[in-house]
Amino acid sequence: MDSPPIPSSPDVFADLLRSLKLQRYERKAAVKSNRPDRQALSAEERDEILAKTAGRCHICGGAIEGKWEADHVFAHAGGGIHRADNYLPAHRLCNNYRWDYSAQEFQHILKLGVWLRTQIEKKTVVGRAAAECFLAREVRRVKRCAPEETRMEGGEGCDT
Ligand SMILES: [Zn+2]
């Protein structure tokens, strides 16, 4: 996929992101009535899917140990079909954050994430402000979803 044009201002960028989100909602609504119900994968199909990446999450590349999710390559919400060749293995956390973003939307998210990560590491004004807000959000998220014992250990809670 070629790189799309760079938005000319922060407002144009915000409008583009909003537009991509609305397109995603419209796509989802358009296929919802014709979309087949989600179906369970057999143990054999899950084994086949996990073998495609030699037991690694297709999103982050990390080893999969324990529970994992079969991620639709072409999102179910967007009309992706239920066939083993439309699935790849993913960590629950990675799959939750991948969601059903379009390719263009997800590329923006990746670029923003990589850029912001650098800002945080360099302790720029933007990086410090973003890290402060992000960490506060993470604390709230873990409190919402973590079992009590995991929360005490400061672990990843329900995302692992
Ligand atoms: Zn992962």
pLDDT of residue 154: 37
**Measured distance CA(127)–CA(124) in Å, rounded:** 5
Q: How many residues does the chain have?
A: 160
Q: Say if residue 47 is exposed, middle or buried (CB neighbours under 10 Å; 0-12, 13-18, 19+).
A: exposed
* Three-state DSSP state, 87: strand
pLDDT confidence of residue 158: 37
Q: How far is the CA of 97 from the centre of ligand 1 (A)?
A: 10
Q: Give the pLDDT of residue 147.
A: 60
Distance 66 CA to ligand 1 centre (A): 12
Report the alpha-carbon distance of residue 44 to residue 100 in Å, rounded: 25
Q: What is the DSSP letter of 146?
A: S
Specify the 3-state DSSP secondary structure of 75. coil
Who's near 55: CB < 8 A, 6+ residues apart? 63, 64, 89
Predicted local confidence at residue 47, as pLDDT: 95
pLDDT of residue 1: 59
155 alpha carbon – ligand 1 mean position (Å): 16
How far away, in angstroms, is 57 Cα from ligand 1 center?
Answer: 5
**Nearby residues for ligand 1 (ion, Cβ within 5 Å):** 57, 59-60, 62, 91, 94
Which pLDDT score, from 0 to 100, does residue 160 have? Answer: 30
DSSP helix/strand/coil, 141: helix
Contact 77, 28 (CB under 8 A): yes
pLDDT along the chain (160 residues), means of 10: 83 96 89 73 94 96 95 74 86 90 92 97 98 95 69 36
Match 């059903």 to its residue by tokens.
100
